[in-house]
Amino acid sequence: MTEARYDVIVVGGGHAGCEAAAAAARVGAKTLLFSMSLDFLASMSCNPNIGGSAKGHLVREIDALGGVMGKAADATFLQSRLLNTGKGPAVHALRAQTDKWSYMREMKRRMEEMENLDVRQAEIVEILAEDGKVQGVKTHLGASFYAPAVVIATGTYLNGKIITGEHSHKGGPDGMFPSTLLAESIEKLGIPLRRFKTGTPPRISRRSLDFTKMEPQYGDDEITPFSYDTEGKLENQVACYLTYTNEKTHEIIRANLHRAPMFSGVIEGVGARYCPSIEDKVVRFAERERHQLFIEPMGLDTEEMYVSGLSTSLPEDVQEEVLHSIAGLENAVIMRAGYAIEYDCCDPLYLEATLESKHIRGLYGAGQFNGTSGYEEAAAQGLVAGANAALKLFGKEPLIIGRDEGYVGVLIDDLVTKGTNEPYRMMTSRSEYRLLLRQDNADARLTPKGYRAGLVSEERYTRFLEKQKQIEAEIYRLEKHSVPPSETLSRIMTEAGCEPVKTGIRLADLIRRPQISYAALSPVDTDRPTLRKEVWMEAETRIKYEGYIKRQKQAVQQFRKLEDKKLPDGLDYMKLDGLCTEARQKLTRHQPKNLGQASRISGVSPADISVLLVYLEKGKLQ
């Protein structure tokens, strides 16, 4: 019987597991990462891309905290685009089409080379615990590995079930085995599990497609990297393509709804509302004449193309008929049929803000095990769970990110405070402070926290400080430096749709005008220093949106007042007069740490918060 001891053990080698293991190792813990297959570390079992709306923010924040995802994405991307550039900077988001196989190899290399980290292929069948504390794990071969901290990052493998049409079988993504015995072990620990589901579209052969009938989608000419560490010029290597479903497509789907598992009752798990299957779209949005589909390459060394927007669990013959009804896909050859996958996950209300279990000390959850969807959401939780597992071991302050500090904080706070009844997806609309939580300033918000936690190296932190110094210096220069009226300035202002000025004006005041950019003022800003684009863009954003940013910071100050008012653990809210019945029940169950958390629980009203505030001020909550 093999036995070994570690500080932190991570169960699962997906996006959550890799970031959890890397974070724990960077903090200094002797860490062991288990994966069902070392050939599929950080596998993109669904869409082959990283980032997107709100998700790109998460990747930037992961990188600002010293994480791995952004670096791996920059090293293996095929096409990169900055989305929502026609809107304000709060919703600008990076999205990269990524080479699935290169990404896995890159992540595998990084895990294997990381100091303090061992990787091992095995199926974990049991979580070892005693007296409410985790002790380690046991493999399918009977070997035991011991550690005072274990992170569960099982993705969709936990009791996974693959469903395509009338056919279903136990299984995980990519043709892998499911993790069935582990689910039983977790339930024996008293952690209730729920059933969620997600889906994927068919993959089709590039050689069978007619791209002349589709709209090409090209990447940006100038590429913004995910990682603040990425240097050098980045280049796009492929195009993606846009096509659409049509009425014939919808007729085929409607005619086969009786064979669709999600309508026939075969699927029991709850799916993601914001990522519906094509059959669900056709039913829910019956008035829509078409739905867009993106045809995306899976990699440079494969003919597989991903049909984004066509997630389905319809029978394989129906999938083929659907594909052949779409422009450019008339002769499409399926390489992998689409499918739905059901899996077990926990209720995140049973987790602390550190992602540690409230009932089994030393046991942490991350990723889809916590009820989320998406690679980026998983990786963000993995980093926080792994870091906190190590920090607690060393008796250090936990890594807790506030809602006002990052989308990572919004994500985790939503999960542990509100819970989720469906796979949770990050969206910019979930944050109250979107203008503060921009993707461009992720390092300013989070790198100092990452450095204090031991996640960010001294070298990286020194470079960060120098960048912030340059931003502040440029803002100061723009606020102090004025330019006189001139023909050149008049032309710039007229072309921007502004009235020319007749007196001298500060550069900062010009930039505050919505129509005028920092770049446009180059001809009259003769003393401009040579700066990296990320430096002057951050300076421009902070000047242009100064008033809005100031108001959001004031709102944050009010928010923090509630966060600072702590509530005692184990309080029996059923005994407190003045609270409504629903609030008593929800507060007793959730056990919020402070008034801020309490205020975000569904069913707790402002009146209930006022009652709690009175009790606190009178010192009656003990």
DSSP secondary structure of 167-198: EEEE--GGGPPPBHHHHHHHHHTT--EEEEEE
**Comparing C-alpha atoms, which of 389, 380, 379, 378 is closest to residue 354?**
389
Which tokens go with 289? 């004449």
Domain(s) of CATH 1.10.150.570: residues in the chain: 564-617
In this model, does residue 608 exceed pLDDT 90? no
Domain(s) of CATH 1.10.10.1800: residues in the chain: 468-551
pLDDT in tens, 197-211: 999 999 999 999 999
Instruction: Measure Cα distances from 596 to 103, 549, 599 in Å.
Output: 39, 21, 5
pLDDT, position 476? 97
**Comparing C-alpha atoms, which of 542, 540, 538 is closest to residue 550?**
542
**Comparing C-alpha atoms, which of 152, 120, 154 is closest to residue 139?**
120
* Residue 534 to residue 530: CA distance in whole angstroms: 12
| CATH 1.20.1090.10 applies to domain 564-617 | no
* 203-339 to CATH, choices 2.40.30.260, 3.40.30.10, 1.10.260.40, 3.20.20.140: 2.40.30.260
CB 223 within 8 A of CB 80: yes
pLDDT, position 622? 59
CA 203 to centroid of chain Cα atoms: 24
Residue whose pair of structure tokens reads 């136990």 in the numeric block: 170
Give the model's confidence band at 234: pLDDT under 50 very low, under 70 low, under 90 confident, else very high.
very high
**Phi and psi at residue 11, to the nearest 5°:** -105, 105
pLDDT in tens, 64-106: 999 999 999 999 999 999 999 988 899 999 999 999 999 999 9
Strands 304-308 and 292-297: antiparallel
Question: Which of these ranges, 90-99, 399-408, 419-428, 592-601, has the smallest mean pLDDT?
Answer: 592-601
pLDDT, position 274? 79
Give the model's confidence band at 1: pLDDT under 50 very low, under 70 low, under 90 confident, else very high.
low
Which tokens go with 83? 């989305």
Give the model's confidence band at 271: pLDDT under 50 very low, under 70 low, under 90 confident, else very high.
confident
CA 565 to centroid of chain Cα atoms: 29
> Which CATH number describes the domain made up of 468-551?
1.10.10.1800
CB 346 within 8 A of CB 372: no
pLDDT, position 15? 98
Fold (topology level) of 3-156+343-453: FAD/NAD(P)-binding domain (3.50.50)
Report long-range pairs for 131-137 (Cβ below 8 Å, ≥24 apart).
132/359, 132/360, 132/361, 133/360, 133/361, 133/362, 134/360, 134/361, 134/362, 134/363, 136/9, 137/9, 137/11, 137/34
In this model, does residue 569 exceed pLDDT 90? no
* Residue 406 to residue 411: CA distance in whole angstroms: 9
Better-scored residue on pLDDT, 112 or 553: 112
* Residue 447 to residue 539: CA distance in whole angstroms: 18
* Residue 11 to residue 18: CA distance in whole angstroms: 10
Domain(s) of CATH 3.50.50.60: residues in the chain: 3-156+343-453
| Residue 126 backbone class (left: φ over 0; alpha: ψ -120 to 50; beta: rest) | beta
